[in-house]
Structure 1
Amino acid sequence: MSEGTLETIIAAIGPLNESAVEAAEQHLNSLTKPPGSLGKLEEIARQIAGITGEISADLSKRAVIVMAGDHGVCEEGVSAFPAEVTPQMVLNFLAGGAAVNVLARGAGAEVFCVDIGVNADLSHEGLIQCKVRKGTANMTREAAMTREEAVAAIAAGAAIVKDLASKGYRMFATGEMGIGNTTASAALCAVLAEMRVQDAVGLGTGINEERRQHKIDVVERAIALHSPDRRDPIDALAKVGGLEIAGLVGVILGAAAERCPVVVDGFISSAAALVASALSPQSAAFMLGSHLSHEQGHRQLLDVIGLSPIIHLDMRLGEGTGAVLCFPIIDAALRIMREMATFESAGISRG
């Protein structure tokens, strides 16, 4: 896909349907409760109405898109786990044994695993094959990928959403797998959100403080080497990002273009949301922040995007786990809109 085609996707992202938001607000205020007393549930109901144009949309067909890709920066010893865990975990997703599979089954969601940049030859009937290249390059020595590869990965994510939307899927969650991807995410935060590197870099998969300091140095060296352009999100993504992050940028932009809500998972998914919102500020209105990750820097990152997490469970697994946990809460907001009595229907006096 050319950058011109990417611009076409971005151009298709419109504002929220304000008349639907107002209709949802009026309906919420007619229900048998004090105005605003259901807090975040009411906020979700209004946002879903604005996204879909319906005050009680049917979002029962939902998908978790898990993008998988490897990172050359793992050569620098930034992770507690070896790079070969990425393809091993992909097979675990496909077998239904990962945490996101378990939680998705409970939330009535389907998991779609995508090989967008795994450094291995994988073959499985359930795997979506969109490999752009076998892992990124080591960003401390060369750009993680070319600009064309970054755009191709974004295109893959958007195309998957478009295909699933044509099959009736109306709500999406972002998931990822890629050893080393918190390093790339931290680098993107430092560039695009102008965060201090020491604030953006966390413990990832469970490294100690000494290795975190090394990870900070790795990110600082990569940024110094490439001087990514903060005003050009694709430049930053190509130089210090990741293939699965780029794929999720496409998922988010594609969902917004299809007027479907997209539930953003943790730190890595939020880095993708940061890139997406930089490319299309209007896309942020279609995102729901799922949870506050235990990963350092996530709260500041969410603040920059303008997302408010629904839950906070000290999680830092990724995969889409936090996003999937929010599906039942979103369902609860929509159930309130469909099933709760109004003051008039229940014959109850207003305060």
Structure 2
Amino acid sequence: MPTDASFSVPDISFPSMKDLRTACLSLPEPDRAWGDRIRQRDALLTKPPGSLGRLEELALWLGEWQGTDSPVLDKVQITIFAGNHGVVQRGVSPWPSDVTSQMVANFEHGGAAINQLARNAGADLSVVCLQNLQATEDLSQTAAMTEEDFLSAVSTGYRAVPKDADLFCPGEMGIGNTTPAAALCAALLGGTGKDWAGRGTGLDDKGLKLKAAVIDEAIMLHKATLSDPLEVARRLGGYELAAIMGSVLAARHHGIPVLLDGFVCTAAILPLVKIAPEALDHTRLSHCSAEAGHRNLAASLMLEPLLDFGLRLGEASGSGLAIPLLCGAIACHNGMATFAEASVSQKSAPSTE
């Protein structure tokens, strides 16, 4: 397991923004000694060095965070965080907020895409509804969440991560949530609403222009607090985004590697990076979303996606697709024979004459 941090992991909640900030700054590191052992074994396997490309790096990443030279994916947890957004009343989504609860029911009955992808990947799937799906305030008119509700959402996400998971994959469901995601990007990375707003679940040109304008209104309204990443998350985010941030933080404290999903999921963890640049060392990006802005966001965070399939569904669908890639990386690392075991000749050393 990663080395211990000085921060005491909370069992229930973060009582204050100060406590949350302390947790964000108290980040365990992976055990590099296991990485050395993985590299040593990899050098002996029946293949040219580096010939499995990123699969080799993925096995190394998993092993260092799991604290083993034989990483496993026996317990993979996908958790969808669902929430609603007051800004929807501004017309930033062509879909009504009722669809959030209807999709939650679909998840629970096994009818969504992520149900099929989780089953295919051998992953456990759960859904967490934030604030009983009561909407946030309209972020373009006031702070999206009170401090109490924001901390509650972060704490809910933190507690949702099983401490014995081998891999954690957060996902989201929330009509209108690409608007707060884009607002977080504009606030924390710079730019305007036009730079970050995308079509979400199908906005036409008029709707896209309105969405960008609403984001600009929100940035102007909250401009005095943009230097504080946690305040940005509270004022411009949403319940499910706060929960995702809490879950990724919990995974770090528990030494669990994380697969990030698309635009909303990646934007949700921006405040962590702004507080501690190394906050994403335990994560990998499952895919690059077709949602406008995700490619630039990933580049800003130096996250190289594993897949680029034009997905824009959310639900942790990209992670569901990428889990089998990780399984392949582990299968090769743990199961391949060494040159000695297979009686295969190795490359001759270069002549020194």
TM-score by length of 2: 0.91
Asked if structure 1 preserves the Cα contact closer than 8 Å seen for 2:262 and 2:316, the reply is yes
Q: How far 1:197 sits from its partner (Å)?
A: 2.6
Residue aligning to 1:61: 75
Asked if structure 2 preserves the Cα contact closer than 8 Å seen for 1:252 and 1:276, the reply is no
User: In structure 1, what is the Cα distance between the partners aligned to 2:55 and 2:61?
Assistant: 10
Q: Does 2:177 match 1:181?
A: yes
User: SS where residue 281 of structure 2 aligns?
Assistant: helix
Asked if structure 1 preserves the Cα contact closer than 8 Å seen for 2:76 and 2:123, the reply is yes
Asked if structure 1 preserves the Cα contact closer than 8 Å seen for 2:186 and 2:196, the reply is yes
Q: How far 1:118 sits from its partner (Å)?
A: 4.4
User: In structure 2, what is the Cα distance between the partners aligned to 1:49 and 1:230?
Assistant: 37
Pairing 1:256-271 to 2, within 5 Å after superposition:
256-271=252-267
Q: 1:202 aligns with which of 174, 180, 198?
A: 198
Q: 1:213 aligns with which of 199, 209, 214?
A: 209
Q: Does 2:29 match 1:15?
A: yes
Asked if structure 2 preserves the Cα contact closer than 8 Å seen for 1:17 and 1:51, the reply is yes
Q: Does 2:145 match 1:149?
A: no
Tell which structure's C-alpha radius of gyration is larger.
Answer: 2
Q: How far 1:290 sits from its partner (Å)?
A: 0.2
Asked if structure 1 preserves the Cα contact closer than 8 Å seen for 2:93 and 2:203, the reply is yes
Matched to 2:331, the amino acid is R
Q: How far 1:347 sits from its partner (Å)?
A: 1.7
Residue aligning to 1:104: 118
Residue aligning to 2:7: none
Q: How far 1:43 sits from its partner (Å)?
A: 1.3
Matched to 1:189, the amino acid is C
Residue aligning to 2:160: 160
Residue aligning to 1:122: none
1:187-246 Cα distance to aligned partner (Å, 9 max, x none): 000111224432211110011122111100010001111116343211001111111000
User: In structure 2, what is the Cα distance between the partners aligned to 1:9 and 1:58?
Assistant: 27
Q: Does 2:247 match 1:233?
A: no
User: SS where residue 219 of structure 1 aligns?
Assistant: helix
Distance 1:304 1:228, change over 3 A: farther
Asked if structure 2 preserves the Cα contact closer than 8 Å seen for 1:117 and 1:244, the reply is no
1:143-193 Cα distance to aligned partner (Å, 9 max, x none): 1112232222111111111xx22xx32211011010010000000001112
Pairing 1:50-129 to 2, within 5 Å after superposition:
50-119=64-133
User: SS where residue 326 of structure 1 aligns?
Assistant: helix
Matched to 1:150, the amino acid is F
Q: How far 1:12 sits from its partner (Å)?
A: 4.8
User: In structure 1, what is the Cα distance between the partners aligned to 2:63 and 2:28?
Assistant: 14
Higher mean displacement: 15-24 or 338-347 = 15-24
User: In structure 2, what is the Cα distance between the partners aligned to 1:201 and 1:245?
Assistant: 17
Residue aligning to 2:42: 28
Q: Does 2:53 match 1:48?
A: no
Q: How far 1:53 sits from its partner (Å)?
A: 1.8
**Sequence identity of aligned pairs in percent?**
38
User: SS where residue 332 of structure 1 aligns?
Assistant: helix
Distance 1:230 1:35, change over 3 A: farther
User: In structure 2, what is the Cα distance between the partners aligned to 1:225 and 1:203?
Assistant: 23
Pairing 1:257-296 to 2, within 5 Å after superposition:
257-296=253-292
User: In structure 1, what is the Cα distance between the partners aligned to 2:35 and 2:72?
Assistant: 16
RMSD: 1.5
Matched to 1:232, the amino acid is D
Matched to 1:70, the amino acid is N
1:57-87 Cα distance to aligned partner (Å, 9 max, x none): 2221111110000000000101121111011
Asked if structure 1 preserves the Cα contact closer than 8 Å seen for 2:24 and 2:272, the reply is no
Q: Does 2:304 match 1:326?
A: no
User: In structure 1, what is the Cα distance between the partners aligned to 2:230 and 2:268?
Assistant: 11
Matched to 1:330, the amino acid is L
Distance 1:11 1:297, change over 3 A: closer
The unaligned stretches of length 5 or more in structure 1 are 120-133
Asked if structure 2 preserves the Cα contact closer than 8 Å seen for 1:203 and 1:295, the reply is yes
Asked if structure 2 preserves the Cα contact closer than 8 Å seen for 1:16 and 1:51, the reply is yes
Asked if structure 1 preserves the Cα contact closer than 8 Å seen for 2:192 and 2:212, the reply is no
1:244-301 Cα distance to aligned partner (Å, 9 max, x none): 0000001100011110111100000001122232234333111110001000110111
Q: How far 1:56 sits from its partner (Å)?
A: 1.7
Matched to 2:252, the amino acid is A
TM-score by length of 1: 0.91
Residue aligning to 1:335: 331
Q: Does 2:220 match 1:224?
A: yes
Q: Does 2:294 match 1:298?
A: yes
Q: How far 1:54 sits from its partner (Å)?
A: 1.0
User: SS where residue 79 of structure 2 aligns?
Assistant: strand
User: In structure 1, what is the Cα distance between the partners aligned to 2:53 and 2:178?
Assistant: 32
User: In structure 1, what is the Cα distance between the partners aligned to 2:221 and 2:19?
Assistant: 30
Asked if structure 2 preserves the Cα contact closer than 8 Å seen for 1:284 and 1:306, the reply is no
User: In structure 1, what is the Cα distance between the partners aligned to 2:197 and 2:224?
Assistant: 18
The unaligned stretches of length 5 or more in structure 2 are 1-13, 348-353
Residue aligning to 1:124: none
User: In structure 2, what is the Cα distance between the partners aligned to 1:32 and 1:196?
Assistant: 51
Asked if structure 1 preserves the Cα contact closer than 8 Å seen for 2:85 and 2:177, the reply is yes
